[in-house]
Amino acid sequence: MATLELYSKGANVWVPDPDAVWVSAQLLQDYRSGEKHLLLQLSNGNEVHYPVGSPSDLPPLGNPDILEGENDLTALSFLHEPAVLHNLRVRFLDYSSIYTYCGIVLVAINPYDQLPIYGEEVIDAYSGQDMADMEPHIFSVAEEAYRTMIRSGKNQSIIISGESGSGKTVSAKFTMRYFAVVGGAAQQTSVEERVLASNPIMESIGNAKTTRNDNSSRFGKYIEIGFGRKGDIIGANMRTYLLEKSRVVFQVN
C-alpha cells in the first residue's frame, strides 16, 4: 500500500469501471486519514465521490507520465492490475508493439494479424545481443536461452503459456525458427515445420471449440530440441503429450 502522503491534490488514480474495467481519475483535494471519500475528477470531466472505508480501500495510484509505454513493467513506480493493463494498451495501440518485458518474463498480445517482425533480418538483429539492449521480442528470449546454453553447456527451458487463442503455438514456431537460423541448421526452413508436423494428428483428437477460439488445443506438449557441440540443431522431438480429456467430450459433425 502506498503512503497516504501520495494521495494529494493532483495525483492520478485508477478507479473501477463496469465497461472499461479501469478508468483514470485525478484527486481534486488532499486525502486525510479518516475521511470516508475522495473527490475525484474522471477523464471525461465528471466529478465523483469515491467511497473509502479505510486506507486499504484507496484506489491504485497512477504512474508518472514519463513512464507511460515502458518496455519493462518492473520499471513502473506502481505495479498493479490497472497499471499493467494500461501500459500494455499504450504499447499496443501507440507503439504498435505486441511485446513487453516483466523482468525475465515476456508478455505478448496476440494481434490476430501477420506482422513483418519475424524475418531473417530481425533474427540477425537480435543474434548476439543482450535482452536489456533490445526491444522486447520473442527472439530476445530465444537468444538469451541459446547463448546461456552455449556458455554453460546446460539445458535451458522456455515456458510458453497463455489462455486459449493467445498464440502459444505460433510463439513456439517462431522460437524454433530462431534456433534453426542462429544454430545453422542444414534445413533452416523446415526444422520448425518438422517438429510441428505432428500437430494435425494431435489436434484431431485433442482440440475443442471454446468461446475464444474455434480450434483450441486441449493438450500440452514438451518440445525438446537437441543441439550439437557447435550449437547447431541435430534433432528435435515431442517429449510429453497431455490430453485434457475432461474438456474433449465429443466430436462435432
pTM passes above 0.75: yes
| Per-residue pLDDT, 202 | 65
User: Which parts of the chain register pLDDT below 50?
Assistant: 186
Do the domains at 1-60 and 97-207+219-246 have one common CATH topology? no
Residues 6+ positions from 243 with CB-CB distance below 8 Å = 205, 206, 218, 219
Domain ranges of the chain: 1-60, 97-207+219-246
The count of C-alpha atoms lying within 13 angstroms of the C-alpha of 99, restricted to the half-sphere facing its C-beta, is 18
- What is the spatial distance between Cα 163 and Cα 161, in angstroms, rounded to a whole number? 7
Instruction: Please enumerate in sequence order all residues whose Cβ is within 8 A of that of 230, keeping only pairs 6 or more positions apart, or say none.
Output: 184
Write out the binding residues.
Answer: 162-169
Length, in residues, of the chain: 253
**pLDDT at residue 205, rounded to an integer:** 65
Q: How far is CA 232 from CA 99, 179, 188, 226, in A?
A: 27, 8, 11, 8
Bridge partners of 233, per DSSP, are: 227
In terms of CATH architecture, what is 97-207+219-246? Answer: 3-Layer(aba) Sandwich (3.40)
Taking only the tens place, the pLDDT of each residue in 105-164 is 999 999 989 999 999 899 999 999 999 899 999 999 999 999 999 999 999 999 999 887
The H or E element containing residue 16 is strand 12-17
Q: Give the SS3 label for residue 150.
A: helix
Question: Measuring CA to CA, how many Å separate 35 from each of 50, 54, 70, 101, 119?
Answer: 11, 8, 34, 38, 57
**Ramachandran quadrant class, 204 (left: phi over 0; alpha: psi -120 to 50; beta: rest):** alpha
Instruction: Give the chain's radius of gyration (CA, Å).
Output: 23
Structural class in CATH, domain 1-60: mainly beta
The pLDDT score that the predictor gives to residue 156 is 96
Q: Which residues of 35-57 are buried (b: 16+ CB within 10 A; e: fewer)?
A: eeebbbeeeeeeeeebebeeeee
For position 4, what pLDDT does the model report?
Answer: 82
The percentage of the chain sitting over the pLDDT mark of 70, rounded to a whole number, equals 80
How does the average pLDDT of the chain come out, rounded?
A: 86
- Return binding residues for ATP: 162-169
pLDDT for 187: 53
CA distance linking residue 181 with residue 146, whole number of Å: 12
Which pLDDT score is estimated for 19? 93
